[in-house]
Amino acid sequence: MYTILKSYFRNFKKQKLIYSITIGGFAVSLAVLVLIVSFIIEEKSVDKHYPHIDNMYRIKQSDENLQIPKRIYEEVMALAPEIENMCILNRNGVLYNYNDKKDWTTALATDENFLDVFSVDIVKGQKEDLFLAKSDVLITEEFAQKVFGEKNPIGEIIEFGDMEEKAVKAVIATPLKTSSLKYDVVFNLEQNIWKSYRGYNEEKYYLYDMVFYLNQAATPSETESKIKDILKSYEGYEQAELMIQPFKEIYFDKSRGDSYVHANVNMIKLLAIIAIIILVLAIFNYINLSTAFNNERFKEICIRKTSGARTKTIFYQFVGESYIAFLVALILSLVIASVLSPIFEELFNRKIDLFEALKQPSVLLAVAIIFLVIGLISGLIPALVAAKFNPVDLLQRNIKLKNSGFRGVYNTIQISVTVALIICLLTINKQIRYVKTKDVGFEKELLLEIGLQGKARGKADIIKEKLLNNPQIINVSGTHGLPFSIYSYGSGSWISDSVEYEIDELVSMNTDTSFLSTFGVNLVMGRNFRVTDKEACIINKKTYDYLQMNTIEGQEIWGKKIVGVVEDFHFKNMHEELGYLQMNYVPDEVSHLNIRIAGNNLQATLMDIQNTLKEFEPSMTNNPRFYDDWINTMYQKEEQQAKAIKIYSLMALFLSCLGLLGMAEFASVKRTKEIGIRKVNGAKVSEILSMLNKDFIRWVVIAFVIATPVAYYAMNKWLENFAYKTTLSWWIFALAGVLALGIALLTVSWQSWRAATRNPVEALRYE
C-alpha cells in the first residue's frame, strides 16, 4: 500500500493538471450525487413515523378523484368491521386574529377519531371531549409559541375568518417535518372553514379525505372488495369504484386535490437519472484520461517490469491508484456539496441536511459499496492497459497506442448527453415562454385579484362602490372562485331534442354584472346579466357547441336560465384543455374582487385598494395580485425542471470538456512523429490544427445524430403534459449542435495548438 501511495503522489507532482482534472470531475459528480441522495432519503422518510403506518390507508376513487363524499362514512364502517378506526378530514387556509397578531394559517376540519388515527399527542389541556363544541379549537405547539409565546394558551379566545370566536381547548404536538399532512389548528368537522363539493344535476356531495387503519389480521384486498361498489348507488357515480391506498404511498401520489403535501415525483426521477448519468460520465473521464496519459509513465512501467515486477503487481498498482483518487474525490465531494447546497436547496425548495443522511447505516453501506464498485470499475481498464505492456516494447518505444476508438465512443457518449440536455433545456424554456405569453382569452394586463377576508367577505357591493370612486380604478367584479382558481364544478346530463348529453365536468363560478367588462370578455350570443335576474347563467361557447343548441331562448341548464354565451377563455392553466363553463348570477356570494386599473400612479392605486379593504376588515393581510404575474407562477414545476437541467447541462458540459481534453492530449502524443515530419515538410500551423481537430468534429457530428432522436422523443413525451404546447423547432436542435461543436473546438484547440507549434526537431528527437 505504501508503494502505491508513493507512486501515486509522485505522479501527481508530475501531472498536477491531469490528476486535478480527474479528481475534480469525480468530486463534482459525487457532490451532486450526495446532495440528491440526501434529498431522496428525506423524501422517502415522509410519513414513516406513524405507529400504524403499515396498516394505515386512505379511501380514494379508482380514477384521479381523491376525495370521497362524506355521506358514505357509516356505510363503509358497516361493511368493513375490520377497520379499527377511521377519520374524515379536510384542510384549508384560514385567517386568524389574536390581539395585534393577524396572519394566515393552515386549518384542519376533522372528527374525534383524528387524534387516534394519526397518533397525535396532547401536550397541554384536557384530553377528553375535544371535538364536541363548535366553539373549541386545538392548536399545535408551534402555533401556540408563535401566537402566545410563554403564555398559557388554554382558554384564550382567537378569531378565525368570519367564524364565531374560538376558545383554545388543547395544545397538540406539531406535525413532524416528515409528515405529508400539515396543519396549525384543528377544528370540529362541522366548522365551515371550506367545503369542497361535487354537484350532479341538483345533487351536492361534500368531499373529504377518509383515512383509517385495519386490524392486524385484516387483508387490504378483502376490505377493498367489500367497499368498492358503494359509490355506484349515488347519482353521478354509477361508474365509480372505490379503492384503498396505503398511506405511505400518498406523498408520492402524482394526483392532486386532497389535503396532503405531495412530492414532485417527476423531479425526483429526473434528478436521480441525470445524477447517475453524470457519475457515469465522470467514470468515463477517469478511464479516458488515465489510459491517455499512461504513455507518460512508460519509463516507470518499464523499470518496474524489468526489475521483476509481475503483471499482477502493475495491475494492483493502477487499481489502487484509482481507489486513492476516488477516496480523495469522495472527501472533496462533501466540501463541494456543502458549497453547492444553497443552489440545490433552492431547486428542491427544501433544507438539505447532508450529515443527517450520512448517519444512517443504509447510507454508509451504500457509500462503501459505491466506493468499492466504482473504484474498481474506474481503475480496471487503465490497469489492464498498463499491465499488458511488454518491457521489451517499452524499451524500444515500440508501443502502439490503441483503443482510440473506445475513447472516441466515450467522448461521443459524453457529447451526446450534453447535446440532449441542451435540447431539453431549450425546449422547456420555449414551452414555458409559450404558456406564459399565450392569449388566455381575456385582458390579463392591469387586472388584479384579491381575496375577501373576514368581515369584508359579506360587503363586496359596498367595497366595490367605494373602490370605483378612485378614478384610477376602471372596473370591479366580484366572483366566487376565479379563473385559474375554480372552487366548484358539477356533472350530469342535459336533454335537448330527445338527445341526452353527459357533461363530466362543468365548472361553476358565481359572478355579477361587471364580469364581462372587467375581464374584457365578449358576448357571442344573448345578453349580459341584469340586476333583476334570478337563477340566471351565462355559458361559454364550448358548452353551447357541445350541447348543440340552436338557440338559448327558453333554455336552462340545471335549474339556471341561460341568458348569454361568451367567447371561450382560459379558466385553467395550459396543462388542461378549455373546459365547459357556467357563470351564475349570484352577486351576494363572492370570495374575490377582480379589479381593472389604469396604468397611472400604480403604487398609489394599490395602496388605496389595500386601505379601502382594511376599512372593512382591519386584519386584511392579502395583497392585490396581478393576473399576468400570477399566471407566470403557475409553471413553477416546469421552471424547476429547467433549473435542474441547466445545472446538469453545465456539469455534463464540464465533464465532456475534460474528456475532450484527454482525447486531444492522446491524439497529439500518438501523432507526435507525424506532426514533426509534416512541419519539417512545410505544413502550416493551421493545417496541423485542421488535421488534429477533424476527428473531434466527426465525434460531435455522430453525437448530434445520436442525441437528436433521443431528445426529440423525450421532449415529445414531456410536451404531452400540456394541452397547449409549442413546436419542436429545427433551430433548437441546430443551436444545440452548434454550441456543442463550438465548445468542443474551443476545448481541444488549446491542446492542438500546443502540439502544432512544438519545435519539429524536439518532436522527432522525442520519437
Going by the DSSP 8-state scheme, the letter that residue 522 receives in this structure is P
Q: How confident is the model at residue 671 (pLDDT cuts 50, 70, 90)?
A: low
Q: How many CB atoms lie within 10 A of CB 338?
A: 15
Q: What is the pLDDT of residue 309?
A: 67
Average pLDDT over residues 552-574: 87
Distances from the Cα of 248 to the Cα of 56, 244, 260, angstroms? 8, 12, 12
Q: What is the pLDDT of residue 296?
A: 58
Q: What is the pLDDT of residue 167?
A: 87
pLDDT tens, 137-163?
899 999 999 988 888 989 888 888 767
Q: What is the pLDDT of residue 660?
A: 72
Q: Is it the case that residue 523 has pLDDT exceeding 80?
A: yes
Q: Which region holds residue 163: left if phi is over 0, alpha if psi is between -120 and 50, else beta?
A: beta
Distances from the Cα of 131 to the Cα of 87, 136, 178, 186, 730, angstroms? 12, 7, 26, 9, 63
Distance CA 54, CA 309 (A): 59
Q: Is it the case that residue 290 has pLDDT exceeding 90?
A: no
Q: What is the pLDDT of residue 649?
A: 77
Look up the pTM and report it. 0.71
Sheet (strand 473-479) strand order: 473-479, 592-597, 447-451, 625-626
Residue 460 burial (CB < 10 Å; 0-12/13-18/19+)?
buried
Q: What is the pLDDT of residue 295?
A: 56
Which residue type sits at 190?
Answer: E
Q: How confident is the model at residue 241 (pLDDT cuts 50, 70, 90)?
A: confident
- Joined together, the cell numbers standing for residue 223 give 376490505
Average pLDDT over residues 215-230: 87
CA dihedral over 389, 394, 400, 402, signed as positive or negative: positive
Share of the chain above pLDDT 90, in %: 11
> Roughly what angle, to the nearest 10 degrees, separates helices 2-14 and 16-44?
110
Lowest mean pLDDT segment, chosen from 105-114, 452-461, 478-487, 675-684: 675-684
Q: Cβ neighbours of residue 494 under 8 Å, at least 6 residues apart?
A: 500, 501, 503, 547, 557, 558
User: Any idea where the domains of the chain sit in the sequence?
Assistant: 1-46+295-398, 53-252, 401-439+632-767, 454-621
Q: Is it the case that residue 391 has pLDDT exceeding 70?
A: no
Mean pLDDT value across the chain? 80
Q: Is it the case that residue 484 has pLDDT exceeding 70?
A: yes
Q: Is it the case that residue 238 has pLDDT exceeding 70?
A: yes
Q: Does residue 380 or residue 43 have the better pLDDT?
A: 43
**What is the residue whose three cell numbers read 382558554?**
155
Query: What are the phi and psi torsion angles at 431 (to 5°)?
Result: -65, -40
- Joined together, the cell numbers standing for residue 43 give 423524501
Q: What is the pLDDT of residue 567?
A: 93
pLDDT tens, 429-439?
888 888 888 88
Q: Is it the case that residue 182 has pLDDT exceeding 70?
A: yes
Report helix, strand or coil for 61: strand
Q: Is 451 in contact with 592 (CB distance < 8 Å)?
A: yes
Q: How confident is the model at residue 104 (pLDDT cuts 50, 70, 90)?
A: confident
Q: How confident is the model at residue 448 (pLDDT cuts 50, 70, 90)?
A: very high
Q: How confident is the model at residue 709 (pLDDT cuts 50, 70, 90)?
A: very high
Q: What is the pLDDT of residue 201?
A: 61
Q: How confident is the model at residue 251 (pLDDT cuts 50, 70, 90)?
A: confident
Closest CA to 321 of 370, 282, 379, 367: 379
Q: What is the pLDDT of residue 668?
A: 66
pLDDT tens, 349-362?
777 777 766 677 76
pLDDT tens, 3-12?
666 666 666 6
For 660-673, letters b (16+ CB in 10 Å) and e give bbbbbbbbbebbbe
Q: Is it the case that residue 766 has pLDDT exceeding 80?
A: no
Strand partners, 601: none
Q: What is the pLDDT of residue 600?
A: 79
Q: Does residue 266 or residue 138 have the better pLDDT?
A: 138
**What is the residue whose three cell numbers read 353551447?**
544
Q: Does residue 736 or residue 638 have the better pLDDT?
A: 736
Lowest mean pLDDT segment, chosen from 218-222, 681-685, 725-729: 681-685
Distance CA 129, CA 123 (A): 15
